[in-house]
Amino acid sequence: MDLFSPDEHDLIVELMNLGVGRAAHALSQLVNDEVLLSVPRLEFISVPEAQEAFRKDLPPFLAGVLQDFEGFISGRAALLFPEARSLELVNAMIGEELSADEITELEQETLAELGNILLNHCLATLANQLKQQVKTDIPRAFNSSVSELPCNLNLSANDPNNTLVMLVQIDFSLRHSALRGYLAFVIDLQSADSFLLALREYLAELL
Amino acid sequence: MLNSSDAIATSLDDILDNIDCTELLHSLDGGVLLLDRQCRIVFCNRWIAQHIGLPEKDLLGRTLAQLFPGMLTPALQSAIEDACLNRMGRLLSYQLHKRLLPLKQRTAKGELGALHQSILLRPLTQSELTLVQVQDITNAVKREQHLRASERVLRLERKVLESIATGDNMEDVLAEICYTIERLIPNSNSAILLLNEDGKSLSVRSAPSLPAQFLHRQRGLSMGPGGTTCIQSIQHRALVVSPNLMEDEAWQPLIEEIKRTNISACWAQPIIAAYEEPLGVLACYPQQPAQPNETDKLLLQRMSNLAAITLERHKRIERIRFLAMHDPLTGLPNRSLLNELLGRNLRRACREGNKFALMFIDLDGFKEINDQHGHDAGDDLLSILSGRMTDQLRGTDTCARIGGDEFVVMLETVQSVQAIESVAQKILTAMSTPVQRGQMQLQVSASIGVAIYPEDGMSADALLTQADDAMYKAKSAGKNCWQSASDLGSEQ
Amino acid sequence: MTDSTPLNILLVDDSRIARLTMKHMLQSLEMSLNLLEAGSADEAETVLSTEHADIALIDFNMPGRDGLELAAVITERYPHIRMALVTANIQDALAQRARDLGMEFLPKPASVEQLGAFIRQDT
């Protein structure tokens, strides 16, 4: 999607990097250990492209955290993992050995907070750096098959022509675990206008 | 005319409109707070007031930081500000924040206990307020702990079975058993004590978290009336609990020791093998006076079963190893073990510049005993003579049976030819002293060939050959005597 | 340091926007600076093979080799270059690894004051 110019794209990546870096800092303080998170790839795709990308790139079963946001951009954000490895991440965070196959209530909650910290930092950094406001709802952990994912992300409820998906691939490395997850921001295109405006204002000061 | 589902919807709306939200919030089994942009409490439900222990009026208008000065973690404080000021929804999970609000609740026994909780901070859409939900997750924590505990036990059981299959180190498995108990019975230390061969005393075999001196001091706890907890558990073949060691008479002699090690109670579970054979004791030492609950008892039982399997297997392996290295009739080392010990002694003598001696001993007249009195008599004679032979030696010397009536004695170090001569003489006397078997007297003698390291050879083979040759010299010199491989000794 | 000899500063960051932001801040310092740019560790090495630099401001998280890997190379080949790791990942463990390489550690986005202090060697 050519909605954003290369500079605008670059700016978003940079702001995502900032947000993720701060989230890594916040997480490392919670777990008293180094947490490395990297953002190697970011792409903007349409709803049909997103559905195609999910089917292709993601494992059949996913665990994740959802969080709604509203402000200069509005929509729903998600952190997605292969289902089994989400547990690995939680266990690495709390320093426990791998537990049962099933994720427990407490682990579900820990995963939700992990997503909460990441998504909040990304959204807050976007908003703060662009001198805008965003409000987030509380996080919800979920498990789903890849075919149910569009429903979880609210993709189908929105008008596909009015929705934009920002997909960010993110690599986690903490303690002895290294795994890859995705951040998906499903952005309501009506709010994408104010997003674009904010990006352009920021760039206008630089360029 | 309204259809029925419309009618239900309408009446539902009516009902919902008329529900008193405040009463609903007060009746919830969980905490609800509303905070304004300055993080001040504008509403709290009954649950919150109860668990903080202050009336509602004392809470309103104040922030949580004011209510609990210096007690909120930075993470909680910043999450509250993030939610109230920046409108960021936050979840604080139990596993990542073991301490959130200092709330108390009464346990079933009536004691005040800390409340396990997680907190949700939700900025409201219709107003500037932030909704705080405090969830009591004590039960979820308990379930989780149970799950983790039983998983750990299962994992350990698997590990023990694996180690049985792969031949892992017994010490590791015993230490793992101790660690598991310490993990599942918090604030405790654990040890495994084994029954010594005398069957009357115990020695500590594994105590990975206790100081080394504990291992030392507890060595050789003797059986007897009024024995300590562990001894009693062996005698009773059952769990014995000393809930408070300071007040326990049997522990008074060890009072300084238990103060130093910071243990206050002792729960001793005997480790019993098949056929009710006691092997030792699995001991758990809580750091506070305490009685085990049902879960603890079950854990000790399961762990002692694992220890029993591990110990029995170890015994069996030791037995197999012993049989592979020893002569079954006399219990003496066999040729393989002799080779191993000889190699070891050679390296050591070479390193330290010692002398040592090999004696090749062949019995004279043994074949006749076998022919005249049968193999049973011959076997009995060999057993008795090998016992006599070892009696003439120091603990560090070795006597091996390498053939029918052939023995090799290795004197680990020798200072002089006189010393060798004295041992050889003693062996000659011991061998030629008649053995009483029923009505019969059996008598043989011995021919001994001696080789000395390094004079007579520098390798195991050379030394054995030299000693063998010397033995034949002794045979041809008339038997019942000893000969040295070198000319020096052959004057004998 | 006299104003007549401008300091050569190498900016290494995969984001052009991040480099631009940094340039803006450096310009506001009103010092005599000569800026060099590289979008990756490889590019930085190419630039250094032909140009002289006094100071390098290096992003940590870049595709390919990261900032610390680049810093290790620079320390070895160009020991005179003063370096700072500029990153949003302000964890102590990372800061320590930077300091172990003799680098300054600046949080991203750095403030003009922090940048100025580092460049003027006030730190």
> Over chain C, what HEC string results?
CCCCCCEEEEEECCCHHHHHHHHHHHHCCCCCEEEEEECCHHHHHHHHHHCCCCEEEEECCCCCCCHHHHHHHHHHHCCCCEEEEEECCCCHHHHHHHHHCCCEEEECCCCHHHHHHHHCCCC
Mean pLDDT lowest for which of A63-72, B219-228, B374-383, B420-429?
Answer: B219-228
User: Measured between CB atoms, which of A29, A93, A137 is closest to B122?
Assistant: A137
B476 interfacial to chain A (CB closer than 8 Å):
no
Contact check, Cβ <8 Å, A25/C93: no
Mean pLDDT lowest for which of A4-8, A57-61, C24-28, C88-92?
Answer: C88-92
Domain regions of chain B by residue span: 4-136, 143-323, 335-490
Model confidence band, residue C111 (pLDDT cutoffs 50, 70, 90): confident
The confidence score (pLDDT) of residue B489 equals: 44
**Could you read off the pLDDT of B171-180 as tens digits, one per residue?**
888 988 898 8
**Highest averaged pLDDT of the listed ranges A169-173, B151-155, B439-443:** B439-443
In chain A, residues with a C-beta closer than 8 Å to the C-beta of B88 are 120, 123-124, 135-136
The confidence score (pLDDT) of residue A98 equals: 53
* Closest CA in chain A for residue C23: A206
Percent of chain C with pLDDT over 90: 53
- pLDDT over 80 at A112, yes or no: yes
> What value does the mean pLDDT take over residues B377-403?
91
CATH class of residue range A6-206 = alpha beta
Do B4-136 and B335-490 come out as alike in CATH topology? Answer: no
**Could you read off the pLDDT of A63-91 as tens digits, one per residue?**
899 999 999 999 999 998 887 777 777 77
Domain regions of chain A by residue span: 6-206
Q: Does domain B143-323 have CATH number 3.40.50.300?
A: no
A99 interfacial to chain B (CB closer than 8 Å):
yes
Superfamily for the B335-490 domain:
Reverse transcriptase/Diguanylate cyclase domain (3.30.70.270)
The confidence score (pLDDT) of residue B492 equals: 41
- pLDDT over 50 at C69, yes or no: yes
CATH class of residue range B4-136 = alpha beta
* Prediction ipTM score: 0.88
User: Measured between CB atoms, which of A11, A17, A206 is closest to C61?
Assistant: A17
CATH architecture of C7-119: 3-Layer(aba) Sandwich (3.40)
- pLDDT over 80 at C4, yes or no: no
Q: Classify the phi-psi angles of B202: left when phi > 0, otherwise alpha if psi is within -120 to 50, otherwise beta.
A: beta
Domain regions of chain C by residue span: 7-119
> What value does the mean pLDDT take over residues A89-111?
74
Q: Which residue has the higher pLDDT, C120 or B6?
A: C120
The confidence score (pLDDT) of residue B222 equals: 58
Whether B and C touch, i.e. at least 3 CB pairs below 8 A, reads as no
User: Measured between CB atoms, which of C17, C87, C88 is closest to A10?
Assistant: C17
CA pseudo-torsion sign B416, B419, B421, B423: negative
Contact check, Cβ <8 Å, B87/A138: no
Model confidence band, residue B215 (pLDDT cutoffs 50, 70, 90): low
In chain A, residues with a C-beta closer than 8 Å to the C-beta of C15 are 10-11, 13-14, 17
> What value does the mean pLDDT take over residues B226-240?
85
> What value does the mean pLDDT take over residues B321-330?
90
- pLDDT over 80 at B453, yes or no: yes
**Could you read off the pLDDT of B19-56 as tens digits, one per residue?**
788 888 888 889 999 999 999 999 999 999 989 888 98
Contact check, Cβ <8 Å, C17/A39: no
Contact check, Cβ <8 Å, C17/A20: no
The confidence score (pLDDT) of residue B490 equals: 44
Burial class (CB in 10 A: 0-12, 13-18, 19+), A33: middle
* Closest CA in chain A for residue B124: A137
Kindly report the average pLDDT of chain B as a whole number: 87
Whole-Å CA distances, B74 to B28, B101, B348, B420: 28, 12, 64, 80
Contact check, Cβ <8 Å, A206/C20: yes
Whole-Å CA distances, C84 to A108, C27, C64, C88: 39, 18, 19, 13
**Highest averaged pLDDT of the listed ranges A184-193, B127-136, B306-315:** B127-136
The pTM of this model reads 0.65
